[in-house]
Amino acid sequence: MARPKKIETMETVSVRLPKAMVDEIDAYVVELKGDMPLLNIGRADGVRQLLANALKLEGTKKKTRK
């Protein structure tokens, strides 16, 4: 079965991170895998989820400041 087409295209963003931060990301990914064992979740998925959560939080902060 073919993979369904994505709604939007993805862009590659490359960053250098301290080892301690990468370890925290990897721990978060292990947590996600525990919560959703049937999904194949990788480091990139974890980074995307963490960024989405942070951006949502920042958006909420901006709305309450107004």
How is residue 60 written in tokens?
């909420």
Q: Which are the contacts of 26, defined by CB distance < 8 A and separation ≥ 6?
A: 43, 46
Instruction: Give, for all 66 residues of the chain, the pLDDT tens digit.
Output: 666 777 788 899 999 999 999 999 999 999 999 999 899 999 999 999 999 999 999 888 777 866
SS in 3 state form for the chain?
A: CCCCCCCCCCCCCCCCCCHHHHHHHHHHHHHHHHHCCCCCCCHHHHHHHHHHHHHHHHHHHHHHHC
| pTM confidence score | 0.77
